[in-house]
Structure 1
Amino acid sequence: MADIIVPELAESITEGTIAQWLKQPGDTVEKGEFIVELETDKVNVEVISEEAGVVSELLAAEGDTVQVGQVIAVVGAGSGSTASTPAARPEAKEEVKAPEATKAAPVTEETTTEQDRTIASPAARKLAREKGINLSEISPVDPMGRVRVQDVSAHGSAPAPTKAVQAPAASAPKEDDGRTTREKMSRRRQTIATRLLEVRQNTAMLTTFNEIDMTNVMALRSRKKDQFFEQNDVRLGFMSFFTKAVVAALKKYPYVNSQIDGTDIVKNNFYDIGIAVSTEGGLVVPIVRDADRKNFAEIEGNIGELAKKARDNKLALSDMSGGSFTITNGGVFGSLMSTPILNGTQVGILGMHTIQKRPIAVGNEIEIRPMMYVALSYDHRVIDGKDSVGFLKTVKELLENPEDLLLNS
């Protein structure tokens, strides 16, 4: 018999949340096989079983907060059975005893097997039994097909719900009229909220704006994108242009690439650029290391790999630590203008926005040009208006003359 223990996650992480159990009581598990996924402040971690056997007990439910070193499951000896067999889940017999009042579908051997094969959390199975719902009929939100409690609740909510199903606890706020939905914040969302609030409270943050005529960089990209893809097997996007322009501007205005340590200003002599990526769990900022030493193809490749890891919850702590400056692109969602919030101890962040055609004065003529508003949020304790405006102006000039950017890189 072996205990499944929450492992050491990182120096600064002492607890996590059970995101989902990958094995259930009665399931066979091999040595080294993943048994549970933990959600931490920064990344999701899959925990393996150190021994082969059968899962005999789960000591924590999905959504529970667990501490490093805590025993969360027990694996016993034996061959067990797989999750797809009815014998693997004793509760399967209970699932088929749906009360008539719920008008559940007639139970047959075939529907019992379908329910057993459905991947669902213990809490979801319990709620489904209570409501007499066949798990195989539920359409989960999870792209992997796992049924959660909220999926069961949503499936079981009829247009005119009965009080027996909807009645809240005496101490709970009234939510039975459907006007509100209560959802617990994920651990990552709680951490994001706390850190953003700390930044707003502990920095003298200001934002300055400018706009970039994207005509030349769009034309260059259009001319070179096919050749670029053929030579590098990666697509040429705008992020590599912006990353290179930011690095050049940081070299010219080094205080924008710094941080405060007590009463000291620490200027970074490296250029590790964070690229904000939106995921279902919230915003994460993986780092493109040594961006000053990489060409356009290497930067685009790094960004693509990191974005995929972020969406697949495969980012490691090392992928997100130690950045010196951040770029965030609200334009992918259609944002025309925003004031981005500083990332951690950094003193500058560049916000990109959507490209919009607008009438612009070009010499003595009015022309329609593709324009982008850009925003630099900065910590005024370190950076004065001269450096902030100069930094943003440098980024603008380089992107409006991308040949200079290519020569400088």
Structure 2
Amino acid sequence: MIIKVKVPSPGESITEVEVASWLVKDGDYVSRNQVIAEIDSDKATLEISAEENGVISLMAEKGKRIQVGDIICIIDTSKKKPIYNNENSKELDFHEKKIPKEQDIIKKIPSPASKKILAEKNISIESIHGTGKQGRITKKDCIIVEDSTTTASYFSPIMEEWGNPQTSMSRAKKITPLSSLRRKLSERLVSVKNQTAMLTTFNEVDMQEIFIIRKKYKDIFKDKHGVNLGFMSFFTLSCVRALKLYPDVNAMISGSEKINFEYYDISIAISGPKGLMVPVVRNAENLSFRGIEQEIHRLSTRVRNGKITIDEMTGGTFTITNGGVFGSMLSTPIINPPQSAILGIHKIVERPVVINGSIEIRPIMYLALSYDHRIIDGRESVGFLVSVKETIENPIKFLMEGSENNIRRILEL
């Protein structure tokens, strides 16, 4: 029986995908539910599994773009898995090595014209790879070796002067096609720059109070909930508070209309093997510190394992991206369309600051809010950042119901 494996639909409006990689070879025996290939769509990478046991025949090459519904491979279920006898296979290997095929025998026989060059230039026959029939050395082969020898002798004193005479000068380059995901990302980024009036406003935030809370409760939090008490839960809840105060930052333009969302789906930018993914923490306003940290951990794991789905990345009303994990001090993040704003958080650095007239060393982070000026004015953008700043600098007041006695209850400890 022949099973035709077709390209599944990765999501609504997607009609074309690209074969990212084959995890099996043509003619391999595959088992049911075994992952045999990965396909790239405009939004995510999906796995394709074998539907039955049998021998597979590949119908599409790696890197080829194919339509949703096309046959990507066929599986012949009538062919059974071959059983090998170890002794027979060893004997077969021995005979194959003992009796080489005729086309594998290379004969380094110089042509009459090449013999003269070899003698005049004192070139060893062993240093030449023959390109003629059955490995025959041609005049062209000798000229190539002669040129490379001359070049090497010319650069030798120069390389000695540089102090590394054994290093060859390489000018190699590698050309690979952009994946479907990367091409779509490129189009989206250019579109954002061309179709929005994007501006970025900056501020800085003192992280000391967050440091104190995390130092005191992070181990208990980890033991109780199985995830770390990170910075992202503080920033997510701070952004939810700021979005409630400045609702236009949680809005988007649709044609000639403005849509204001009364829920807060926070997209979190996460770097994965296939590039930057932006899964969504839905209804963050209803989640606790534990709920946010567990959801971010779940989504991060799925991104890094290549298991994230399009549904998990669809939607989102506002985005947070953390360049600080890579060491970025400051950046101007690009809006994640069709959203209207994105918050960039960065590396925490100890800096001298003035506190009540005295200079102190504090852990400072720079914040950057990129926004679409068509829908968000300077008042909203600056006010949003100020709100995030005051929440992070006063987490007990704004996130812990104003009392240190409530911290353990808020953290569900």
TM-score tier (shorter) = 0.7 to 0.9
User: Residue 205 of structure 1 contacts residue 379 of structure 1 at CA under 8 Å; is this kept in 2?
Assistant: yes
Matches of 2:182 and 2:85, distance apart in 1: 37
Q: Which residue of 2 aligns with 1:273?
A: 266
2:3 matches 1:10: no
User: Residue 54 of structure 2 contacts residue 81 of structure 2 at CA under 8 Å; is this kept in 1?
Assistant: no
Q: How does 1:155-234 map to 2 (within 5 A)?
A: 178-234=171-227
Matched to 1:64, the amino acid is K
Larger Rg: 1 or 2? Answer: 2
Higher helix share: 2
Q: How does 1:278-289 map to 2 (within 5 A)?
A: 278-289=271-282
User: Residue 52 of structure 2 contacts residue 77 of structure 2 at CA under 8 Å; is this kept in 1?
Assistant: no
Match of 1:244 among 228, 237, 243: 237
SS in 2 for 1:54: strand
Matches of 1:83 and 1:193, distance apart in 2: 49
Q: TM-score, normalised by structure 2?
A: 0.75
Q: Which residue of 2 aligns with 1:59?
A: 59
Matches of 2:241 and 2:365, distance apart in 1: 19
Matches of 1:83 and 1:72, distance apart in 2: 27
Deviation at 1:255, TM superposition (A): 0.4
Q: Which residue of 2 aligns with 1:307?
A: 300
SS in 1 for 2:20: strand
Q: Which residue of 2 aligns with 1:73?
A: 73
Deviation at 1:385, TM superposition (A): 0.3
The gaps in structure 1 that reach 5 residues or longer are 102-159, 161-175
Matches of 2:15 and 2:237, distance apart in 1: 37
- Deviations along 1:115-137, whole A, 9 cap, x unmatched? xxxxxxxxxxxxxxxxxxxxxxx
Matched to 1:8, the amino acid is S
SS in 2 for 1:231: helix
2:358 matches 1:358: no
SS in 2 for 1:299: helix
Matched to 1:362, the amino acid is I
Deviation at 1:83, TM superposition (A): 11
Matches of 1:346 and 1:84, distance apart in 2: 58
SS in 1 for 2:39: strand
Matches of 1:321 and 1:288, distance apart in 2: 11
Deviation at 1:209, TM superposition (A): 0.1
SS in 1 for 2:328: coil
Matches of 1:338 and 1:324, distance apart in 2: 21
Q: Which residue of 2 aligns with 1:331?
A: 324
User: Residue 31 of structure 1 contacts residue 49 of structure 1 at CA under 8 Å; is this kept in 2?
Assistant: yes
Instruction: Note closer, same or farther for the CA distance 1:65–1:232 as it changes in structure 2 (3 Å cut).
Output: same
The gaps in structure 2 that reach 5 residues or longer are 107-147, 149-168, 402-409
- Deviations along 1:131-186, whole A, 9 cap, x unmatched? xxxxxxxxxxxxxxxxxxxxxxxxxxxxx9xxxxxxxxxxxxxxx96253322211
Q: Number of aligned residue pairs: give it.
A: 332
2:377 matches 1:376: no
- Deviations along 1:76-117, whole A, 9 cap, x unmatched? 232343699999xxxx989x979577xxxxxxxxxxxxxxxx
Matches of 1:207 and 1:82, distance apart in 2: 63
Matches of 1:394 and 1:38, distance apart in 2: 43
SS in 1 for 2:200: strand
Matches of 1:365 and 1:9, distance apart in 2: 58
- Deviations along 1:179-215, whole A, 9 cap, x unmatched? 5332221111111111011011100000000000111
Deviation at 1:260, TM superposition (A): 0.3
- Deviations along 1:366-406, whole A, 9 cap, x unmatched? 11111000000000000000000000000000000110232
User: Residue 244 of structure 1 contacts residue 405 of structure 1 at CA under 8 Å; is this kept in 2?
Assistant: no
Instruction: Note closer, same or farther for the CA distance 1:209–1:100 as it changes in structure 2 (3 Å cut).
Output: farther
SS in 1 for 2:400: helix
Match of 1:320 among 297, 305, 313: 313
Q: Which residue of 2 aligns with 1:105?
A: none
Deviation at 1:67, TM superposition (A): 1.0
Matches of 1:189 and 1:32, distance apart in 2: 28
Q: How does 1:107-146 map to 2 (within 5 A)?
A: none
Matches of 1:336 and 1:85, distance apart in 2: 61
Matches of 1:280 and 1:23, distance apart in 2: 20
Q: TM-score, normalised by structure 1?
A: 0.76
Instruction: Note closer, same or farther for the CA distance 1:369–1:80 as it changes in structure 2 (3 Å cut).
Output: same
Instruction: Note closer, same or farther for the CA distance 1:30–1:217 as it changes in structure 2 (3 Å cut).
Output: same
Matched to 1:44, the amino acid is T
Instruction: Note closer, same or farther for the CA distance 1:9–1:368 as it changes in structure 2 (3 Å cut).
Output: same
Match of 1:291 among 284, 289, 295: 284
Matches of 1:401 and 1:311, distance apart in 2: 33
Matches of 1:324 and 1:85, distance apart in 2: 61
Matches of 1:333 and 1:227, distance apart in 2: 27
Matches of 2:306 and 2:270, distance apart in 1: 12
Instruction: Note closer, same or farther for the CA distance 1:399–1:83 as it changes in structure 2 (3 Å cut).
Output: farther
Instruction: Note closer, same or farther for the CA distance 1:49–1:77 as it changes in structure 2 (3 Å cut).
Output: same
User: Residue 29 of structure 1 contacts residue 53 of structure 1 at CA under 8 Å; is this kept in 2?
Assistant: yes
Matched to 1:305, the amino acid is R
Q: Which residue of 2 aligns with 1:29?
A: 30
The CA RMSD over aligned residues, in Å, is 2.7
Matches of 1:82 and 1:377, distance apart in 2: 60
Matched to 1:350, the amino acid is L
Q: 27-36 or 302-311, which moves further after superposition?
A: 27-36
Deviation at 1:269, TM superposition (A): 0.7
User: Residue 214 of structure 2 contacts residue 229 of structure 2 at CA under 8 Å; is this kept in 1?
Assistant: yes
Matched to 1:328, the amino acid is T
Matches of 1:85 and 1:368, distance apart in 2: 72
2:389 matches 1:396: yes
Identity of aligned residues (%): 44
- Deviations along 1:313-344, whole A, 9 cap, x unmatched? 10011110110000000000110000000001
